Structure 1
Amino acid sequence: MISIIMSCFNAEKYIAETIKSIIVQTYVDFEFIIIDDNSDDKTVDIIKGFQDKRIRLFINEENRGLTVNLNFGLKQAKGEYIARVDSDDVFIKNKLEVQKKYFDRNPEVGLIGTNAYIYGTKKVIKMPITYSQILGSITLYNPFIHSSIMVKKDVIMKYLYNELFRHSQDYELWSRLVFNEKVININKPLLKYRIHENQISKKLETSQNVLSSEIKSNIIEKVMTLSENHKKIFINSLQLMNVKSVVLKDVKKVYQDIYLSHTFLDSNSERYFKKQLWSFYDRLTYYIIKNNHFKVYYSEISFWPINRFNLMSKLIWIKKKVGLK
């Protein structure tokens, strides 16, 4: 059996569609654990309107927060597998079936995520797929969409969510789990991920950035050796924070040190990390030129393994694209 866990708070606008997408799944052997976090709108009434015996509703008498609710849901779960869904996201009809079949064929895997559609569009959010790619990306960003994951219960119970993290709790959990368990993403969009102004990740973006920085700092300590100053420059550059005080040629040196000091699982992980690292550096360069924070000295830029000519050409193209002289 699969236990699907959802925490909700004042979710009346979208929760009905989310629940519908669960109860019509092609895989039917599941329980749906819903923890209402003391909502004061019609959320609970909407949930009770679904007459499905697989729904187990728990109502908090006070607001406890997402992280505490998720750990509560894990402890209540009766299933061998755990799936997550946020109260504004939508499962594709065969999501559970596809992930369960993958587990059956690959018993060594402990956690499976997927790609996702951006709700209301055909645009796909593509995640790193293989274990090597995930290890090659987790230093840079969260390699899983939280609502997409399915995990073996005996795996996640070894770690649980860290209740000191009210936000970014999934990224913090993965930062501990992926170095000990085999994990993958299925290269299919099996979720409709909703982006709107009222979602937690939008409302609490600043708080999430701070916590994400702490998580990245902890991961860096596991996979590479960096000075505190280089670590700070690196994390700020990934999140485009405090870039006005950062000199691009200094970031270049930091990125070189990051690559050279990083410990990789294998050559595939190394190649993926290298590619993603360059992508972030490119984004930072674009952002800096676009906002014209300071003068870029082309002659001093040479990011290895991209040779100087290619990088200079790319920077010139970026500069033209954003209309700077």
Structure 2
Amino acid sequence: MEPLVSVCIPAYNNAGYIRETIDSILNQTYHNIELVVVDDNSKDNTLDVIRSVKDSRVKVYHNEENLGMVGNWNKCLSLTSGEYIKLICADDMLDQNAIEIEARAMQQHPTVNLVESDTRLVDINGKKTGVFHRYHKSGEVNGKKVAKKSLLIQNFFGAPVNNMIRKSALEKVGYFDESFTYILDFDMWVRLACSGDIYIIHQQLNSFRIRNDSNTGNLIGANRDVYVDEHKRLVEKHASNGVIKLSKFDIGFSVWFRKVRNVLIGIYLKLFSK
């Protein structure tokens, strides 16, 4: 039997993109999936689009009050039944064989808590504009090593769409930390990585949509200082718990390098997003 994979979509005002996201999940070559979609009291017709999908694997929930991103992401996780979990933002997409390849890696490597694949960056029309590569090694990699380099240099874990989570590990490390507004997933990847190994697949198995009006666009654009503040708190949090050894110099360098990367990403967004 194929292990059940729970795919979560936390949705809010995504009527223009969410059907394409849902279709990319339901058309997977891996069939034993459930799709948990939680609408966070959208103001557009996102809920109508979700309810128009007729497939027994789709479980639709609606929040009477808006929970915000962190609250809704955690609610999605709480509603899952699968052995493995993928959380996908409502405008991103999976390649047809993504879950099959990632679930197989998870099955074959019991010490692995995260399976990650490379990401295709696309614009609002789905046109490819770039690639986000994971950590340079392939296969099973020590999680703490990737976590430390991610905190120091760049987030090698990437977005939720390119990660598959072992649910038993998630239950041990806990859900998304509500003290973070934007980089809550980065924090979770670090916690999962520090509690086990990572399996890295250098294939582009998913697409991340770049939009100026998305959380990423707002964060790197108008809210750049907020991002830097959250990044500093993230590094300090994991330095203080003793699992990852980081000096004061390491923390200072990480914050400085984050500022530099924000500038570069801001330029990229101006060139390739709308």
Are the aligned partners of 2:34 and 2:57 in contact in 1 as well (CA < 8 Å)?
yes
Checking the alignment, whether the CA contact within 8 Å between 2:235 and 2:251 is kept in structure 1 is: no
- Which of 220, 243, 255 is 1:236 aligned to? 255
User: Is 2:185 the counterpart of 1:148?
Assistant: no
1:171 aligns with 2:190: no
Q: TM-score, normalised by structure 1?
A: 0.69
Does structure 1 residue 199 correspond to structure 2 residue 214? Answer: yes
> Which of 189, 202, 208 does residue 187 from structure 1 map onto?
202
In structure 1, the partner of 2:146 is: 134
How far apart are the structure 2 equivalents of 1:85 and 1:225?
A: 31
Could you tell me whether the CA contact under 8 Å between 1:3 and 1:31 is conserved in 2?
Answer: yes
Residue 236 of structure 1 and its aligned partner are, at CA, apart by 3.2
Structure 2 length-normalised TM: 0.82
Spell out the pairing of 1:149-298 with structure 2 (5 A cutoff).
Answer: 149-158=163-172, 159-205=174-220, 206=224, 207-221=226-240, 222=242, 223-224=244-245, 226-227=247-248, 230=249, 233-240=252-259
Question: What are the superposed Cα offsets for residues 13-50 of structure 1, whole Å, 9 maximum, x if unpaired?
Answer: 21111111011011011110011111010111111111
Give 2:272's aligned residue: none
- C-alpha displacement at 1:214, in angstroms? 1.0
Separation in 2, partners of 1:189, 1:148:
9
**Structure with higher RCO (Cα < 8 A, 6+ apart):** 2
Larger Rg: 1
Distance in 2 separating the partners of 1:80 and 1:214: 31
Bigger drift between 15-24 and 211-220 goes to 211-220
Counterpart CA distance in 2 for 1:38 and 1:150 is: 27
* Alpha-carbon distance in 1 for matches of 2:246, 2:102: 36
User: Please, which of 30, 33, 57 is the counterpart of residue 30 of structure 1?
Assistant: 33
Runs (5+) with no aligned partner, structure 1: 242-279, 287-325
Q: Is the 8 A contact 1:9 1:38 kept in 2?
A: yes
- Mapped partners of 2:75, 2:48: distance in 1: 22
SS at match of 1:165: coil
What is the number of equivalent residue pairs in this alignment? 243
Q: Measure the CA separation in 2 of the matches of 1:167 and 1:17.
A: 24
Cα distance change, pair 75–240 in 1 and its aligned pair in 2 (3 A) = closer
Partners of 2:255 and 2:148 in 1: how far apart? 19
Amino acid at match of 1:215: L
Deviations 1:171-229 (A, max 9, x none): 111222211211232111110111110111111333333212211222344433534xx
Other-structure match for 2:53: 50
**Structure 1 runs, 4 residues or longer, greater than 4 Å off:** none
Give the strand-richer structure, 1 or 2. Answer: 2
Deviation at 1:136, TM superposition (A): 4.8
1:321 is matched with none
* Structure showing the higher helix proportion among its residues: 1
- How far, CA to CA, are the matches of 1:104 and 1:90 in structure 2? 23
Matches within 5 A, 1:80-91: 80-91=83-94
Which runs of 5 or more residues in structure 2 are unaligned?
265-274
Map 1:66-105 → 2, pairs under 5 A = 66-105=69-108
- Aligned AA (1:196): R
CA contact (8 A) 1:85 1:147 kept: yes
SS at match of 1:3: strand
Task: Tell me if structure 1 keeps the 8 A contact 2:113–2:193.
Answer: no
Give the conservation status (yes or no) of the 8 Å contact 1:65–1:166: no
2:268 alignment partner in structure 1? none
Deviates more, 1:120-129 or 1:21-30: 120-129
Match of 1:3 among 3, 6, 24: 6
In the alignment, which residue of structure 2 is the partner of 1:108?
111
